[in-house]
A and B are shown apart, each in its own frame.
Chain A
Amino acid sequence: MPDRNSEPLGAQEDASAKALTVGTATEAEGAPRSLWTDAWHDLRRNPIFVLSALLILFLVLISLWPSLIASRSPVHCELGRSLEGPSAGHWFGFDTQGCDVYTRTVYGARASIAVGVCATLGVALLGALVGSLAGFFGGFWDTLLSRVTDVFFGIPMVLGAIVFLSMITLRGIWPVVLVIAALGWPPIARIARGAVITAKQNDYVQAARALGASNTRLLLRHIMPNAIAPVIVMATIVLGTFIALEATLSYLGVGLRPPTVSWGVDISAASDGMQFRNAPHILLYPAAALSITVLAFIMLGDAVRDALDPRLR
């Protein structure tokens, strides 16, 4: 009895939805368009994203293959040309040791980007793990993990890193990466916990639970994909600050040390007051490279947040 009028009505509804879809999407009928596709659609049209993404792509390329744009070796130095100013063959001039500042700035990108990317990966994994476990299981585990997060959140990053790095004798980028990852995860954990709690309350999670889905399936298929966006945004923004932190630690003499080539090491070596008055270029070029890189990552994070946050749409 009821299906007599439900069928044509249903068909009508379908037809109107079809018209609606045609209006909004120019793609082929039935082509999948997820929220990520929508975000990418927005991002491509955002000049800030395009600019920062191109800059980051360039930085990643030169940190992988610095010889693409720098023909000399960063450790080939001629003491005789110490503190020589910029010239036609050497645009950025020479530092105290007589090394080419341009070559060192190019090669310095590798350490900075490597520390930033590795530390961010570590922070994102650790933070997402702690945060999602606390948010998903709640109760005792939430209390325990949240208090541990609070304890780590209370440790000042720079002070904590100085204390740990001055205790260990191992050098290179890995101690710096580990220390940043160990101290930098609390903000990500808090964001992940909040996102997981929000996603957990959605009816589709209840529906999957009612179907008999396991906790693993609920977390991986239903909660994580809907909670990951804020974590990605936060990770992109902290990447820039971690690069700055690496430079800070190197400047303070506890991060990377010569002969490792990094912007922080070069800024540290160039920051003598006398030298700055005589040869400002040896400080300005690595510092400018650092600022531009940090800015690029923070702008990228901003653009990604705008595209992924449905409330700003």
Chain B
Amino acid sequence: MSDQRGEPILEVTDLVKHFPLTQGILFKRQIGAVKAVDGVSLRLYPGETLGIVGESGCGKSTVAKLLMNLERPTSGAIRYKGEDISRLSGRALKAVRRNIQMVFQDPYTSLNPRMTVGDIIGEPYLIHPEVAPKGDRRKKVRELLDVVGLNPEYINRYPHQFSGGQRQRIGIARGLALNPEIIVADEPVSALDVSVQAQVINLMERLQAEFGLSYMFIAHDLSIVRHISDRVGVMYLGRIVEIGSDQEIYQYPTHPYTQALLSAVPVPDPVASGRRERIILAGDVPSPANPPSGCHFRTRCWKAQSLCAEVDPPLTVPGHLKDAGPPVAHPSACHFAGEKPEVTAE
């Protein structure tokens, strides 16, 4: 896949989002900033699924909100087919929104409880009347319900009459209504039961094949991300620390954080599990309001040296690994990146 990618459909460069921390009631002054996203660059290619993993609070959801233009970035650019969409507003922004849609985490809060399923899925056509002529809309909503595996007769029901998995299907149908090219899925299955998770993931894969969608799949569940993604990016404290194909990340991780993360994945084989070394990280994630200098991970890293506090490691293929060739040589933001075969997931 990586050979014939062509032009990226979405290109994010140096995306930064700082939330100001203010003090005072009437005269607010800024006393600092939560650096939720602190320099994220990535590319999404047509038809692929890019997984983003990371622990809570690492900025995954903020990246999703920035991509959807629900938050304005502090700096950086989001280019959709070459056009920077992060500064758009009004009509131009509305036009771009047709092509990028979102599936939300919690199916219990992402559907308006006062609207019927038909109104929820049909609302995109009211906002963008040019997509479907008036008489066709009801029919289109029924088709969408059918596409996501729900009975089209449920069109007049309210969200509270559905189970969590069915609600997530409704959310997906709403996202598909405008025929978007990109779907940003922010933890789309983490609120669901494991058995229902599989159904929704399978549905998303089927829709991707059917409509040629590109997915940005954000999750904290490593195995689900591995299952659905072509490429995976690992986030830590507002930055992407390692990115590559799922094989590169899961079998040949070179960044210490990725290695620690993978070593925590339970292995269903007791013999293999006993052989495997688990990396227990010391301490907590530093506050994003006051991240460490240099490499953000250095405070918890067993490889950290004085260089790590001084020089910020760039997200490129590490120089000393270039000779190794793929799959070991892939972008990893670490001065001392290197394999540690005993911790990989397989």
Contacts and interface: CB of A to CB of B under 8 A. Distances in A.
Interface of A: 1-3, 5-7, 9-11, 13-14, 16-17, 20-21, 25, 29-35, 143, 202-204, 206-214, 217, 221-222, 225-226
B202 A2 contact: yes
Nearest to B210: A3
Interface stretch (B7-15, B39-47, B98-106, B251-259): B98-106
A196 to B, nearest CB: 14
A126 B93 CA distance: 33
A9 B123 CA distance: 28
B206 A14 contact: no
Given A14-B166, A204-B110, A211-B101, 19 more contacts: A2-B202, A2-B205, A5-B202, A6-B149, A6-B203, A13-B166, A14-B150, A30-B155, A30-B156, A30-B157, A143-B26, A203-B106, A210-B102, A212-B94, A212-B98, A212-B127, A213-B127, A221-B115, A225-B112
Nearest to A3: B206
Contact of A34 (B109, B110, B114, B150): B114
* List of 10 A-B pairs having minimum Cβ-Cβ separation, nearest first: A10-B149, A2-B202, A203-B110, A6-B202, A212-B94, A212-B97, A225-B114, A204-B112, A3-B206, A2-B205
Contacts of B127: 208, 211-214, 217
Interface string B118-144: 001001100110000000000000000
A11 B149 CA distance: 7
A165 to B, nearest CB: 34
B290 interface: no
A262 B123 CA distance: 50
A271 B93 CA distance: 68
Contacts of B156: 30-32
Size category of the binding interface on chain B: 35 or more
Contacts of A5: 202
B162 to A, nearest CB: 6
A32 B202 contact: no
Interface string B80-113: 0000000000000110011001101110011111
A211 B124 contact: yes
A6 B206 contact: yes
Nearest to A213: B127
Contact of A211 (B109, B123, B158, B165): B123
Contacts of B101: 210-211
B86 to A, nearest CB: 14
B31 interface: no
A226 B113 contact: yes
A111 to B, nearest CB: 37
Contacts of B166: 13-14, 17
B163 A16 contact: yes
B211 interface: no
A225 B198 CA distance: 34
A211 B105 contact: no
A5 B198 CA distance: 10
Contacts of B150: 10, 14
Nearest to A5: B202
A6 B161 CA distance: 21
Contact of B128 (A29, A33, A212): A212
Contacts of B109: 202-204
B149 A212 contact: no
